[in-house]
Amino acid sequence: MSFSTPTRSRPVDDLLSCIELWFDDKYQSDDENWPNARFLIRGGICWPEHYDQATDRVQGVALMLGYNLQTDRAYVFEEQPFTCIDHMIDPVSRKIEAPGLAPWFNQMFSKYMGDTFYVSQHDDCRDRWEREVRHSPSIQAPPRFVPCPEWGDVSRGESLIWEWLTRKRVHRFAQEGLDRQIMNYRKGEEKFLPAYMHALACCLSGMSTQIEQAREVARSPQSLIGKVKNKMMLDNPKDWRGNT
């Protein structure tokens, strides 16, 4: 399907648990135009781990989703395949050989106020890639990586995706990477849960645990004041620095 991505964003609360989004360019100031809707903004990441025949490389995928708290539908706003965190640059030509994920993190925070990403891979893989993120000089808005509260294996991740798709609660751009992988997976052409679907399962799994809290904030932005002293308590993860 086709849908618009936001042009403006504004947090409802200091904890970024609910974000107001505008989908047109008529925004003038905070007092002159109401937002189109309030969203829970979360991402999902599959770190590069498995060889992809289609691209002839080990490739990861990052997704950014917005969950409309009024319509109860999630939208895959952004898809980003990657093989590294900082750009790989040819030492001779100085051209970018492989684009890194670091600029994308900055864009996601600037456009959506999105700084939280759910992950579900073994510790060695996660630690190695998250260490690269911590040491990247290009990332201006450090993301948080949250272990998924559920799914863990392929069958549970697969059933979670089909549940959301069957109920028409998650929408994606037609003919993009995620859409193509879902179509191929239905044909039985994938041997394991591919990177786009892995990232989607991570995000849906983690996002589902935060919907009610975000809805409470959307109704009353003051509702969490005094209840949450630290943003980490929202998802109860380790943040990108490894702190609790």
CATH number at residue 31: 3.30.420
Q: Which residues pair with 51 in a beta bridge?
A: 58
Is 2 contained in some domain? no
Q: Comparing C-alpha atoms, which of 104, 105, 117, 140 is closest to residue 239?
A: 117
Q: Comparing C-alpha atoms, which of 86, 103, 130, 114 is closest to residue 241?
A: 130
Is 234 contained in some domain? no
- Enclosing domain of residue 60: 8-229
Is 243 contained in some domain? no
pLDDT at residue 229 in the model: 42
Is 163 contained in some domain? yes
What is the DSSP secondary structure assignment for residue 243, as one 8-state letter? -
pLDDT at residue 35 in the model: 64
Is 238 contained in some domain? no
Residues 6+ apart with CB under 8 A from 2: 173, 174
Is 237 contained in some domain? no
pLDDT at residue 102 in the model: 94
User: Which parts of the chain register pLDDT below 70?
Assistant: 1-2, 25-35, 54-55, 150-154, 189, 191, 221-244
**Number of domains comprising the chain:** 1
pLDDT at residue 2 in the model: 56
Is 1 contained in some domain? no
What are the percentages of helix, strand and coil residues in the chain, rounded to 5? 30, 25, 45
